[in-house]
Chain A
């Protein structure tokens, strides 16, 4: 490795560290300022809580053995709806790809369902499936699966025509085309949709927990706001940030693993 190249890599690393440094500094400044301003009563901790109060609230949730129940409930519901939504997305997109006629027929319905704010369906789901975890999961599935169907289907139909021609020179079977070209070439598209799906599922679950639940992070936030316990609300938001980040990195890890196998 030449001296210039070493210096280039060093500069690149330095730049990266600089970015991390400032990201951490901003976080520390915000937290300290928030705490100091609430301690000095410049900000009302009753309305906006404080970092210390949030830590205490999370600690008390932990001590009462409730912390992991709430996190676990939200995680469980999110992962279930994530898996079901992905399956629905892939299966329905496959059916639509296989039958262009059916795709044309259902196109306006998909557009309507996609533009409809799914939260409007919340009360209907509650009536149909009752005040239960099932309703929460169905709500999340509704929110995430429609987008997935559209995105994955678009990936399926936007394949390079030359590649389709190539597979057809070996076989005219549509199943062969799907198996050897459509599905494998869409793995990156499906993986990038995992990210959308995981965040949409989490949004759906929190919305569902707002409407009907006795546990979960959405319940903590909703309950906290109803009893005007802003420490609980903010703790819920912080927990949500942690859960969302963890889920995002889980999908990111899957993506990187896939990239590693194809590089």
Chain B
């Protein structure tokens, strides 16, 4: 397997007027091409901070991240669609900003929109879309710049349960088909063990890796179907115990 991201002993300290906060301490892990990795942990443990660091939006205090010349795409908790732009323009915004709006890239985006059921909505505005459709637009916007690794920060948390199951399936299929690598931050253990093949459990602050689980299902199915698999409950309980003991 090709390594696409190596995180080596990273450490993050915040300074506020009142105190010095140690958010992350000695985190090390490796991500290979095509991996689907979930990061879970207690509330406020620094999961999103870790993702911001991986995305380059925050610096580490010490340690090193090696991107192996791979590019990163980031999908936020909020779909952050621009209300004043059409679906197509929202999907093209990253390409425009990065000055990569070529005919081929636009064609690629149009294909994605077509493939994932948004063709008829390219000239619609985000306000006319359902929650699930908005998420798909946000995902296509992220995929438009053809990143090698996708970082997702609780991307489905704002959705109702049914939509969450559906969009998890959609995202899973899209990312598998596009052969992407995924790092997902979530507070939802069931989402982590159904969507990803590896789960990193973080401890409470200062965050360290408490456990790493390799997730394997005897039948390869969509995330929503994995919830009824025998293995699901075992993984869920083990990870829940890890987090609960924090």
Task: Decide: A170 near B80, CB < 8 A? Known: A176-B97, A262-B125.
Answer: no
Chain A residue contacts of B125, Cβ below 8 A: 262-263
- Is B210 part of the binding interface, using a Cβ–Cβ cutoff of 8 Å? no
- Is A192 part of the binding interface, using a Cβ–Cβ cutoff of 8 Å? no
Does more than half of chain A's interface fall in helix, strand or loop, or is it mixed? helix
- Is B9 part of the binding interface, using a Cβ–Cβ cutoff of 8 Å? no
Which residue on B lies nearest to A188, using beta carbons? Answer: B84
Chain A 169-188, CB-CB to B under 8 Å as 1, else 0, gives 11100001000110011010
Q: Which of B20-28, B71-79, B183-191, B226-234 is near enough to bind chain A?
A: B71-79
- Is B94 part of the binding interface, using a Cβ–Cβ cutoff of 8 Å? yes
Residue in B76, B84, B93 whose beta carbon sits within 8 Å of that of A262 in the complex:
B84
- Is B115 part of the binding interface, using a Cβ–Cβ cutoff of 8 Å? no
Contact B77 A162 (CB under 8 A): yes
Task: Decide: A181 near B82, CB < 8 A? Known: A162-B77, A166-B76, A169-B74.
Answer: yes
Contact A185 B84 (CB under 8 A): yes
Which residue on B lies nearest to A181, using beta carbons? Answer: B82
Chain A residue contacts of B80, Cβ below 8 A: 160, 162-163, 165-166
Q: How far is the CA of A262 from the CA of B85 in the complex (A)?
A: 8
Contact A167 B57 (CB under 8 A): no
Which residue on A lies nearest to B57, using beta carbons? Answer: A168
Does more than half of chain B's interface fall in helix, strand or loop, or is it mixed? loop
- Of the listed residues A165, A169, A180, A184, the one surrounded by the most CB atoms of chain B closer than 10 A to its CB is A169
Contact B82 A171 (CB under 8 A): no
- Is B98 part of the binding interface, using a Cβ–Cβ cutoff of 8 Å? yes
Contact A185 B82 (CB under 8 A): yes
Chain A residue contacts of B77, Cβ below 8 A: 162
Which residue on B lies nearest to A173, using beta carbons? Answer: B97
Q: How far is the CA of A82 from the CA of B77 in the complex (A)?
A: 41
Contact A169 B73 (CB under 8 A): yes
Chain B residue contacts of A168, Cβ below 8 A: 57
Q: How far is the CA of A176 from the CA of B98 in the complex (A)?
A: 10
* CB-based closest 8 A-B pairs: A162-B78, A170-B97, A169-B74, A162-B80, A166-B80, A170-B94, A163-B80, A171-B97
Please report the number of residue pairs spanning A and B whose Cβ atoms sit closer than 8 angstroms.
46
Contact B84 A169 (CB under 8 A): no
Contact A187 B145 (CB under 8 A): no
**Interchain Cβ contacts under 8 Å between A and B, 26 examples:** A162-B76, A162-B77, A163-B80, A163-B82, A165-B57, A165-B74, A165-B76, A165-B80, A166-B74, A166-B76, A167-B97, A168-B57, A169-B57, A170-B94, A170-B97, A171-B98, A176-B97, A180-B97, A184-B82, A184-B85, A185-B83, A185-B84, A187-B84, A262-B83, A262-B125, A263-B125
The residues in B between 49 and 93 inclusive whose CB is less than 8 angstroms from any CB of A are 55, 57, 72-74, 76-78, 80, 82-85, 93
- Is B166 part of the binding interface, using a Cβ–Cβ cutoff of 8 Å? no
Q: Shortest distance in angstroms between A171's beta carbon and chain B's nearest beta carbon?
A: 5
Q: Shortest distance in angstroms between A95's beta carbon and chain B's nearest beta carbon?
A: 22
Contact B84 A180 (CB under 8 A): no
Chain A residue contacts of B74, Cβ below 8 A: 165-166, 169
Q: Shortest distance in angstroms between B129's beta carbon and chain A's nearest beta carbon?
A: 14
Chain B residue contacts of A176, Cβ below 8 A: 97
- Is B96 part of the binding interface, using a Cβ–Cβ cutoff of 8 Å? yes
Chain A residue contacts of B94, Cβ below 8 A: 169-170
Q: Shortest distance in angstroms between B55's beta carbon and chain A's nearest beta carbon?
A: 6
Which residue on B lies nearest to A176, using beta carbons? Answer: B97
Q: How far is the CA of A162 from the CA of B52 in the complex (A)?
A: 12
Chain A residue contacts of B55, Cβ below 8 A: 169
Q: How far is the CA of A181 from the CA of B94 in the complex (A)?
A: 12
Chain B residue contacts of A263, Cβ below 8 A: 125
- Of the listed residues A165, A166, A167, A262, the one surrounded by the most CB atoms of chain B closer than 10 A to its CB is A166
Residue in B76, B84, B97 whose beta carbon sits within 8 Å of that of A184 in the complex:
B84
Q: How far is the CA of A262 from the CA of B125 in the complex (A)?
A: 8
